[in-house]
Chain A
């Protein structure tokens, strides 16, 4: 409790008793620390937070966080998170998962949360591989990548997650990495504070099935801070231009933040409810609508 009487949370307040079972060296260890720090900075108590994930190594993350958690089914983190937010708009809702969960199996859901502008923060731990199932091609694997399901190299172009969400009109798009822990925490905090759908792509290395160039050292070599570059996060076209370098450069920070965030779906629902409530029948008379007089 602070001198002003408000509760102050520390990162450890969001750490659960479960011990992560990720491979030692996994980038997700840093990501979960970044999330604890971001949540502490935002200051919402754990009981006001819901954390939803799909399936995969990174989708274990709600279990390692003290909050309401739902480790759901593959690719379905976003619809479940949306349902939670609509049922209880006061909750701070986070969704997380891997690139396969978000951009392959669950790829169809992202567009709809973006167009509805659901007030949800979506953190994708992008490691360019299906790690939990032992190293198959994922939607963000680079063309030519050799894995157990592409012995002669991938023939497919990778999905560009940043361009994908920018093209659909996401109001907040950022990228982070364990190469810059403080920056990652600050970026996730900013995403949580954004009023609307916020997307953070975290380049989180897979130490077991990831390639050398995708490990911390390799990522550091291609990383560049968007702030240091002088990028204006209000410029959506400039953001899209930079996002095209996904896979070659790792730009860290906020690509795009809508300077005038539109109303969220929750706001619109509330507005509609208020508008209709004037003429709404009391519950006991609902059936009257269906009775011919």
Chain B
């Protein structure tokens, strides 16, 4: 995860809300990409789970956007997507062809943990009390998201112990 050009000490509530929306947008897009990748590689169960995550991220993004509009209307945004990288979005490296739903869920869980760590790491630098309250709220929501994924994980049958690699052909000698 990386942050470029964000001065947390002077972050305004408007910018903090916009940043949070962008974080959700990035995660939503990444899950969409993962779902498409899984479709292309005939891995429908993982694709289905990633689409479930798309809906979750989109829902959270809409809620944040509603708050932003209620508080600041259509005031111009001064933070951009170029400032953030992989805050809540799962790492590209987390996807694999033929990944099991369990692996997909674990990838999502890891990204929720990553987002939680981001908000925790940012907290000491924040000076504005409203921004701090928002970040604390977002941090706690990431814990809720982790619970949500854990609930889905618990619904799965026990792990077969087989690796994804067991279903992939070895390179053939030529």
Contact = CB atoms under 8 A, between A and B. Distances in A.
B174 A19 contact: no
Interface string B88-122: 00011111110100000000000000000000000
A40 interface: yes
A26 B41 CA distance: 13
A68 B97 CA distance: 31
B92 A12 contact: no
Interface in B57-94: 80-82, 85-86, 91-94
B85 A24 contact: no
A107 interface: no
Nearest to A32: B92
Given A24-B95, A25-B93, A134 B81 contact: no
B93 A205 contact: yes
The listed residue with most B CB atoms (<10 A of its CB), out of A11, A29, A40, A135, is A29
B38 interface: yes
Contacts of A111: none
Given A135-B171, A180-B2, A182-B4, A25 B81 contact: no
Given A41-B82, A216-B93, A19 B36 contact: yes
A148 B86 contact: no
B172 interface: yes
Nearest to B37: A24
A11 B91 CA distance: 18
Contact of B81 (A10, A20, A136, A147): A10
Interface string A137-153: 00000000001110100
Given A148-B171, A183-B2, 4 more contacts: A30-B92, A147-B171, A182-B4, A209-B171
Interface of A: 10-12, 19-21, 23-27, 29-30, 33, 37, 40-41, 134-136, 147-149, 151, 178, 180-183, 185, 205, 207-209, 215-216
